[in-house]
């Protein structure tokens, strides 16, 4: 799916496919250097992080097993409720492992703050965060993020794993939807 396939739903392309690819290359290089010789486990947050996790992990120059969690604080809306529910837990024991949470986007930070505490309590050697996108203006709690692809404005974005009502995840770029698409 490309921008032209969205008809009149797209307001603008915010971050191109090429910009995403370049930034993921940079992030992978830093991760490789920072975790050299360490037992690293990538933990993706479903469903949005699928694209980021797949592309970031393929850029690493090391073996890095991955596991997945599904947590929800959104339901089908566009704003976080702040109440976190685990929909799918990890299959991997974190004891002694260096865990890198891979996220698509950080909005309020509420869900991620909860997730950091939860995973840290499981005996991990360390728990850090890598995210493709962060909205500094939307942050409600301070969350230390080790790897950030892009800081973006507090706008509703789709593409590259991010959705609106399960649509637009497969866009190869980050785009802004026209507000009339999601404000009905």
Q: If you average pLDDT over residues 47-66, what whole number do you get?
A: 95
d(CA 12, CA 147): 25
Nearest to 62 by CA among 96, 98, 15: 98
Tens of pLDDT, residues 101-130: 999 999 988 889 999 999 999 999 999 999
d(CA 5, CA 168): 10
d(CA 60, CA 73): 30
- CA triple 86-53-44, angle to 5 deg: 15
Distance from CA of residue 53 to its chain's centroid?
A: 8
Structure tokens at 92: 């991997």
Out of 3.40.50.2020, 3.30.360.10, 3.40.50.2300, 2.40.50.140, the CATH code matching 17-152 is 3.40.50.2020
pLDDT at 71 over 80: yes
Tens of pLDDT, residues 8-29: 888 899 999 999 999 999 999 9
- Angstrom distances, CA of residue 53 to CA of 13, 71, 86: 21, 16, 19
Structure tokens at 158: 């789709």
Write down the catalytic residue from 89, 93, 107, 144.
Answer: 107
pLDDT at 165 over 80: yes
Domain ranges of the chain: 17-152
Least confident of 71-85, 133-147, 163-177: 71-85
Q: Is the dihedral of CA 42, 70, 112, 135 positive or negative?
A: positive
What is the pLDDT, as a whole number, of residue 183? 81
CA dihedral 27, 22, 56, 152 (to 10 degrees): 70
What is the pLDDT, as a whole number, of residue 81? 55
Confirm whether 107 is a catalytic residue.
Answer: yes
């Amino acid at each position: 799916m490309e921008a032209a396939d969205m008809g009149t739903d797209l307001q603008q392309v915010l971050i191109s496919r090429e910009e995403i690819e370049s930034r993921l290359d940079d992030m992978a290089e830093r991760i490789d250097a920072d975790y050299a010789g360490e037992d690293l486990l990538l933990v993706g947050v479903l469903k949005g992080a699928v694209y980021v996790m797949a592309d970031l992990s393929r850029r690493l120059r090391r073996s890095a097993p991955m596991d997945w969690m599904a947590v929800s604080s959104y339901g089908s809306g566009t704003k976080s409720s702040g109440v976190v529910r685990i929909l799918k837990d990890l299959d991997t024991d974190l004891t002694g492992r260096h865990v890198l949470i891979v996220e698509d986007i950080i909005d309020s930070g509420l869900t991620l703050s909860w997730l950091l505490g939860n995973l840290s309590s499981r005996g991990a050697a360390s728990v850090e965060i890598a995210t493709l996108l962060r909205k500094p203006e939307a942050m409600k709690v301070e969350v230390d993020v080790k790897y950030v692809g892009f800081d973006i404005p507090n706008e509703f974005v789709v593409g590259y794993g991010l959705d609106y009502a399960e649509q637009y995840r497969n866009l190869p770029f980050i785009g802004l939807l026209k507000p009339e698409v999601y404000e009905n």
